[in-house]
Amino acid sequence: MYNREIRGPLVLGNKNFGQVTADILKPLDTPTPRWWKATFGLALLATAWGFYAIYVTVTQGIGTWGLNNSVAWGWAIINFVWWIGIGHAGTAFSIFLLILRQKWRTSINRAAEAMTVVAVGCAALFPALHMGRIWLAFFIIPYPNTRGPLWVNFNSPLFWDFIAISAYLLISLSFWYFGMVPDFASVRDKATSRIKKAVYGVLAFGWTGSTKEWLRYEGLSYILGGIAAVLVVSVHSIVSTDFAVSVIPGWHTTIFPPYFVVGAIFSGFAMVMTLMIIIRKFYKLQDYITDSHLNAISKILIFISLIMGTAYATEIFVAWYSGNEYEMFTFFHNRITGEYTFQFWAMVICNAFIPQLLWSKKIRRNLSIVFIISLIINLGMWYERFNIVVTSLSKDYLPSSWASYYPTWVDVGIYAGTLGLFTIGVLLFFRYVPMIAIHEVKSVMHAGENHTKHS
């Protein structure tokens, strides 16, 4: 049970239900802020650059990327895994904390789920582009066809990725959308514009808020939550298996599935922290996204950071203890020292050491520092994916085929385009959807207030 006396109230300001609805719906009724328009404009420019880079890729081929005979996987796969990792947070945040009955999740889960949907959509671009012939992407779908025995290759990691992304996007989108239905009804009922009332009325599916509807709604939430909980673990395990089933030094290890899943949740929670601080600051929602909420996320980041540091140490120890000269070369002469030393130590420092600053209460209360740490974590997680992909491929078993990898402007452009798409998706969410689940916040407003303190 949530102890209000020890952990503090979940909603500040002694608000009533009407005030909660008015506060959360206020950003939908006020004029669009200047900072929103400026950020949206920059995101559009980044997206335009990304689409031009995609056009060049489709018309000229992936030879426009920085790939070579050794490093056949480059920024496309790095960014694919990075975006999938960020997309894990929304589902993990909502589902696991829902199952564990953590009431403080109610102010944060809506934004986390929105982030998941947009991030998974960005991730889905990269495998399709990496095929080279994007117009043949439909070949990977197992549908009845006239090509005789030609079917999808069930041994291909690309097919695993397609199934994983498709299932994860569908469940995440369903979980996110159905969670918003009661709030869409609230917007519909408060709307004064006929167009707005009609649009949100359609989105609300005719919701009336009857007891029967609430019972079915809660049942559906747990069903979708149970399915999504499995996908949180399975999706990134599948992505990690793309690497682990190979015989490439640095990849062929059984630690990859749990290592990837924990890393994905780590980067995702860091991005949730980034978004929560932005929402709290620019939309004046300190009464709903309280210091206690951000403090709880900080503690989770500390815990996962310790796991990540243990995973890095385990990889190095296993490489040394195995006596395998190729594994030792990859870790000790191509990561810890060697050509990619900077990327390796940037990963370790950003993910294993800097988050430990959050042990300090003073730092956890300084939201500017916490915001910077959340960005540093995601930078470190990007470097982790770079280390896994590039350092293992650039120097393999044959020194005669060794080659360095450098991204081209097309690689950078596609990545910038996905950052722009992500920003546009998040900004549209800020503008047209209640950022906090109104009905869930109301359900926990007085949680634990009758709890008596035992001596």
pLDDT, tens digit, 9 for 90 and up, residues 44-90? 999 999 999 999 998 888 888 888 888 888 888 889 888 888 877 77
Which phi and psi angles does 381 have, rounded to 5°? Answer: -70, -30
Q: Is-contact 47 319, C-beta < 8 A?
A: no
Give the residue among 344, 358, 346 at the shortest CA–CA distance from 305.
358
Longest dimension (CA), the chain: 76
Give the residue among 101, 44, 29, 88 at the shortest CA–CA distance from 231.
88
R_g of the chain computed on alpha carbons: 23
Give the residue among 18, 8, 9, 4 at the shortest CA–CA distance from 438.
18
Which phi and psi angles does 403 have, rounded to 5°? Answer: -155, 145
Give the residue among 127, 73, 82 at the shortest CA–CA distance from 264.
82
pLDDT band at residue 98 under the 50/70/90 scheme:
low
Residue-wise pLDDT for 263-285, tens only, equals 888 888 888 888 888 888 888 87
Between 173 and 41, where is the model more confident?
Answer: 41
| CA 96 to mean position of chain CA atoms | 15
Q: Which two tokens stand for residue 1?
A: 């049970």
Query: Looking at residue 450, what is its pLDDT?
Result: 44
Residue 359 has pLDDT above 50, yes or no: yes
pLDDT band at residue 97 under the 50/70/90 scheme:
low
Between 374 and 15, where is the model more confident?
Answer: 374
Query: Looking at residue 162, what is its pLDDT?
Result: 78
Residue 408 has pLDDT above 70, yes or no: yes
How much is the average pLDDT of 417-431?
90
pLDDT band at residue 5 under the 50/70/90 scheme:
low
Query: Looking at residue 48, what is its pLDDT?
Result: 94
Query: Looking at residue 141, what is its pLDDT?
Result: 73
Domains of the chain, start order: 17-142+152-444 (1.20.1630.10)
Give the residue among 71, 128, 392 at the shortest CA–CA distance from 246.
392
- Measuring CA to CA, how many Å separate 170 from each of 100, 116, 406? 23, 11, 35
| CA 287 to mean position of chain CA atoms | 25
Residue 43 has pLDDT above 90, yes or no: yes
Has this prediction a pTM greater than 0.95?
A: no
Question: Would you give the DSSP letter of residue 329?
Answer: I
Query: Looking at residue 147, what is its pLDDT?
Result: 66
Q: Reduced to 3 DSSP states, what percent helix, strand and coil does the chain have, rounded to the nearest 5?
A: 75, 0, 25
Rounded to the nearest 5 degrees, what angle is found at the Cα of 185, between the Cα atoms of 183 and 189?
120
Q: Is-contact 4 447, C-beta < 8 A?
A: yes
Q: Is-contact 126 76, C-beta < 8 A?
A: yes
3-state secondary structure of 447: coil
Rounded to the nearest 5 degrees, what angle is found at the Cα of 55, between the Cα atoms of 172 and 49?
75
* Whole-number average pLDDT of the chain: 82
pLDDT band at residue 3 under the 50/70/90 scheme:
low
Give the residue among 117, 159, 119, 130 at the shortest CA–CA distance from 142.
159
Give 187's contacts (C-beta < 8 A, 6+ positions apart).
Answer: 25, 28, 196, 200, 204, 434
- Measuring CA to CA, how many Å separate 431 from each of 26, 28, 30, 85, 425? 10, 6, 9, 25, 10
Residue 354: burial class (beta carbons within 10 Å; 0-12, 13-18, 19+): middle
Query: Looking at residue 414, what is its pLDDT?
Result: 92
- One DSSP character per residue, 288-328 reads TS-HHHHHHHHHHHHHHHHHHHHHHHHHHHHHHHH--HHHH
Q: Is-contact 131 137, C-beta < 8 A?
A: yes
**How many Å apart are CA 99 and CA 95, to the nearest integer?**
6
Which element (helix H / strand E) includes 268?
A: helix 256-282
Query: Looking at residue 452, what is its pLDDT?
Result: 39
Query: Looking at residue 345, what is its pLDDT?
Result: 92
Which range in 107-116, 186-195, 205-214, 297-306 is most confidently predicted, on average pLDDT?
Answer: 297-306
